[in-house]
Structure 1
Amino acid sequence: MPFIKNWDQLVIDHHEQSENKIIKKEQDDFWEDKVEGFIPPELPDYNDPSLSFLLSNLLPQSSVLDLGGGAGRLSIPLAQNNYSVT
């Protein structure tokens, strides 16, 4: 019957984890400890070869979908150059 004890412990652990998440969520802002990872450490490098390529090949009315370019690395300079960035 050790499997029953193991199952019981899994259920108890799951409930404790859920309760801890609820309590922590009520007490803290979820993003507070994560925000530093999303803030660019410095302004975008306008000499970036990827950015230079995009700026020289996009039409003026282009709309750009920025996926995984970094926290504003491409979207900020593209928006500053009047491109629609999503």
Structure 2
Amino acid sequence: MEELKEELKGKIIEVLNLEDVAVADIDDSDALFGDGLGLDSIDALELIVLLDKEYGIKLSDPKQGKSIFESVNTMAEYIAKNRTK
């Protein structure tokens, strides 16, 4: 699971072009939106595409994203249970 979390942080930084953020800067339990990493709704769409391309996970209900994208921990748990790639 730790390996997945590290991989996920790297992919988030890469996909969202977070130039001033390093993998070590993101805590597993930090909020991704709002006060944490400060992502916005456009970033959420990018994360949905990331899940589909990298892990074969299609979110049919965008409202699911709110709980899935809470933190790196919640994303990693969801990916571990639902990945097809």
TM-score, with normalisation over the residues of structure 1?
0.24
Question: Larger C-alpha radius of gyration, 1 or 2?
Answer: 1
Structure with more helix by fraction: 2
Higher percent of residues as strand: 1
The structure whose RCO (Cα within 8 Å, separation 6+) is larger is 2
